[in-house]
Structure 1
Amino acid sequence: MKNFPLLFLLLLSVSASAQTIACFTVKAGNINRNNSLVYATYNTGDTDAVVLEEVTGKKRVPVPVNALKGKVWWVMSGKTPAGTVRKYELKKGITTARPLMIAGIQSGSLLLQQGEQPILQYNYQTVDPPAGTDTVFRRSGFIHPLWAPNGAVLTNIFPNAGHRHHMGIWNSWTHTLFEGRETDFWNVQKREGKVRYAGKMETFSGSVWCGFSAGQEHVALLKDGTEKTAINEVWLVQAYPATDGGNRRQWDLTSTFSPATPDGIILLQYRYGGGFALRTTTDFIATTSQLLTSEGKTRKDADSTRARWVKITGTTPKGKAGLLIMNYPENYDSPEPLRVWPENMEGGELMFNYTPTRMQPWQLHAGVQYQLKYRVMVYNGDLTPEEAEAAWQEYAHPPEVIRGE
């Protein structure tokens, strides 16, 4: 487990006679695996007090695990060649270790950390724009800062007078038809709609991941001065331990949403909005950063194309760093179309958006839940295109888990 040195600090207490709950065989499939994230289900027996061991012949090695409501996560550490299998046993037991991955509430925000190292911050209380700015830009329910492993901040909020509505990482829908009226939840200066935190916060800490779930709502601002919720949404964010000597870290964002009214809502075809939106640090401009997509496109020609993944790397005061944004193959109209600012926008600064409705509209029906999923890898230095593709393949095609009793 050389890629997870901190995990050696975890001391697991489990006796040889502890009751086995489930046995798992994990198949690598046709992909060479490297520190794969593994997910499985089990019968809880009304307990999440479990420990996990990897079984190799007569050898048993404790494995850090997160368990929650009959679901269990762990890292299949190191390299697992294609075509091979690894075996694990889940038992009743109690870990004596303090959580490595920590979700902590602080003043107005929630901070995810690995030990003392910050990962990302979710702002659930309303954040005010710069002094002298219209209060219409006040916003909650977004991620900022997002840190690279080297400590560099990769996001930006309230960036300039023309784009005060850009908020780190967010996902407002832009061009919609709600109750017969075109409604924009992204460009809040139009005073048609907005997105805000809606409560129902849950936080999770553990040995394998930390995270949170939070309610959000797309709110239409009606002509009579009242408000009406158009879309209810829940964000689930899960962050995992750094790998590759601490130089790479991954986290997942799952957005689950449904219309809030009987008539539903139409997400109209438009060139940007929804999905996954990112405003990068001001350190990333055309001369100091590079964008590359899975299809080999750059900032010169990526806009309005499709991509499985988008890699953004640039120079920061703490060294070279970047992020790889991957969209899940089951997302609407995947591989999703892109909105990428050209190099001559805003002095070369960068806004990026996975835009599921760029090519076609999306009718959301009442009583139906919809979902969009993304994985982000933040890294020091850079990734090769081959490494980026391998990370997406791992995300899109996780190891197969076969459960036995």
Structure 2
Amino acid sequence: MCASAARGCFFTGSNPAVKAASSFSNSASCPAERAATGLGGRLPRKEAVAPSGRSWAAASKAGRLSSRQGRKRCFMAWRGRKKRACLRVLLRPFTRAMKLHHVLAALLVTASAHGGSFTLEKTAAGGAIVKLDGQFFTEFVVDQANKTYLWPIIGPDGTDMTRSYPMKTVEGEQHDHPHHRGLCFGHENIGGYDTWAERSTFGEKPSDKTSARVSHLGAIKHRSITEMKDGEKAVLAVVADHVDAAGKKIIEEIRRHTFMVKNGARIIDVDIELIATEGDTLVDDKKDAGLSIRVPSEMAVDKGKEGKGTGRIINSEGHTDGDAWAKRATWVDYHGTVKGASVGVAMLNHPSSFRHPTPWHVRTYGLFTANPFGLQSLDKNSETGAFTLKKGEKITLRHRFIFHTGDEKAAKIAEAYADYAKEP
């Protein structure tokens, strides 16, 4: 844009149209003006050519107007055409920029709807880091506790969707239950040993009551990664051994994580097979058992000492907050405000999963667990959930985690479950 056009069209006075008309009344002195009007320079008023191609006088006579009126009307028409053409030339870069903006926005919406690309990188410890479009999404940690876990997990708007404690100390977080690590699986008693709790659960000096549990602490030992696949639907499959206090194998666990993005939400499917490879194995009825995630302290329903208590729990049957505990449901959503962002995580129980629909050990302080094992522990009026897994037999647990923005309605969790339930 030339300086004279800029001064005339945009940067002088409060009325650009008036200034443009004033600037263009005597001359077409800038490149933009010449390009817009096809004029090469100054227009003498008496001999100027009207828009019709005739002189001002001829144009006024043809219109049966006085020479003065004709000149005025024809000049105003010419000036309006000239002004509009010049403005089109000057605004062309802005118009193109706006079109580019809309194109980019459309591409982002399309990418969000159809998902990004995941890449998996093996860690030195034998776990894996999962990236989405080159950015960190989560890590499968295998060597920091008596169980494996995913932590941290980054939501669709960049929010950390899991509590950091005990892996990392963050000011303002709740520091209870150190065995609640990110997204993990554990059970208080399979084959007589506990993989739910860990040594730090009981403090430096366990009481007489808890000493027995300490002596029966087991572990879920990662053995190997059996499959790693990148792409829009990435896969991390692993095998692990549940072992007793001496490291002897009790049962085998095959776990398959599937990562994807749908409608802007980030999804992790966790399919677990527990196989009695070593012999008949008792799987006891315990409250503290199942597949869990510990939500951020700000997302908890309870305010607590550190938590801000912005959260809400709701399940597929309409039970909310504390009333959702121990209830059977096909899905549960836990949402709240974290660092000013409205976010949530839904956990879906597939129809083929063991004892579907599962009871939920979901707490208002932030624990979120699908527990099909503790039937009587969660509801004293129920029959016992304890059973013996015969040698060679297995049970399958299938769940989907949806990390989303907004509440369960905004994230359309009911519709998402209907789609998930149709999957084989």
TM-score by length of 1: 0.63
Contact persistence 1:112–1:210 (CA under 8 A): no
- Work out the CA distance in 2 between the residues paired with 1:3 and 1:295: 37
Aligned: 1:220 with 2:244:
yes
- Work out the CA distance in 1 between the residues paired with 2:374 and 2:394: 21
Q: SS at the partner of 1:172?
A: strand
* The one of 267, 288, 299 aligned to 2:321: 299
Aligned to 1:282: 297
- Call closer, same or farther: CA 1:107–1:315 in 2, change over 3 Å: farther
Letter in 2 for 1:340: V
Q: SS at the partner of 2:412?
A: helix
Q: Kindly report which structure 2 residues correspond to 1:323-402, keeping only aligned pairs within 5 A, or say none.
A: 323-341=345-363, 343=364, 349-359=365-375, 360-384=385-409, 387-398=412-423
CA offset at residue 285 of structure 1?
2.4
Aligned to 2:230: 206
CA offset at residue 173 of structure 1?
1.1
Letter in 2 for 1:284: M
Aligned to 1:261: 278
Alpha-carbon displacement from aligned partner over 1:160-203 (angstroms, at most 9, x marks no partner): 66511111111111134x2xxx4322122324133334222144
- Work out the CA distance in 2 between the residues paired with 1:191 and 1:3: 58
* The one of 206, 227, 251 aligned to 2:268: 251
- Call closer, same or farther: CA 1:386–1:279 in 2, change over 3 Å: closer
Letter in 2 for 1:239: F
Aligned to 1:119: 137
CA offset at residue 5 of structure 1?
4.4
Alpha-carbon displacement from aligned partner over 1:353-402 (angstroms, at most 9, x marks no partner): 11111212232111123211111111122330892111111011139xxx
- Call closer, same or farther: CA 1:8–1:377 in 2, change over 3 Å: closer
* The one of 192, 200, 207 aligned to 2:216: 192
Aligned: 1:270 with 2:292:
no
Letter in 2 for 1:229: K
- Work out the CA distance in 2 between the residues paired with 1:381 and 1:7: 17
Aligned: 1:232 with 2:246:
no
- Work out the CA distance in 1 between the residues paired with 2:225 and 2:340: 33
Q: Which has the larger radius of gyration?
A: 2
- Work out the CA distance in 2 between the residues paired with 1:3 and 1:175: 52
Alpha-carbon displacement from aligned partner over 1:238-277 (angstroms, at most 9, x marks no partner): 101x343xx3122211111212322x21211222302x11
- Work out the CA distance in 2 between the residues paired with 1:4 and 1:395: 27
Letter in 2 for 1:365: K
Aligned to 2:156: 149
- Work out the CA distance in 2 between the residues paired with 1:3 and 1:370: 46
- Work out the CA distance in 2 between the residues paired with 1:3 and 1:146: 26
Q: SS at the partner of 1:152?
A: coil
- Work out the CA distance in 2 between the residues paired with 1:301 and 1:320: 22
- Call closer, same or farther: CA 1:8–1:169 in 2, change over 3 Å: closer
Contact persistence 1:324–1:377 (CA under 8 A): yes
- Work out the CA distance in 1 between the residues paired with 2:373 and 2:230: 36
- Work out the CA distance in 2 between the residues paired with 1:188 and 1:326: 27
Contact persistence 1:4–1:243 (CA under 8 A): no
Q: SS at the partner of 2:299?
A: coil
Contact persistence 1:103–1:203 (CA under 8 A): no
Structure in which a larger fraction of residues adopt strand = 1
Give aligned-pair identity as a percent: 19
Structure in which a larger fraction of residues adopt helix = 2
- Alignment RMSD (CA, Å): 2.9
Contact persistence 1:271–1:339 (CA under 8 A): yes
Contact persistence 1:175–1:267 (CA under 8 A): yes
Contact persistence 2:292–2:367 (CA under 8 A): yes
Structure 1, unpaired ranges of 5+ = 10-34, 36-76, 79-98, 128-137, 344-348, 400-405
* The one of 95, 100, 104 aligned to 2:117: 100
- Work out the CA distance in 2 between the residues paired with 1:228 and 1:336: 30
- Work out the CA distance in 2 between the residues paired with 1:183 and 1:211: 30
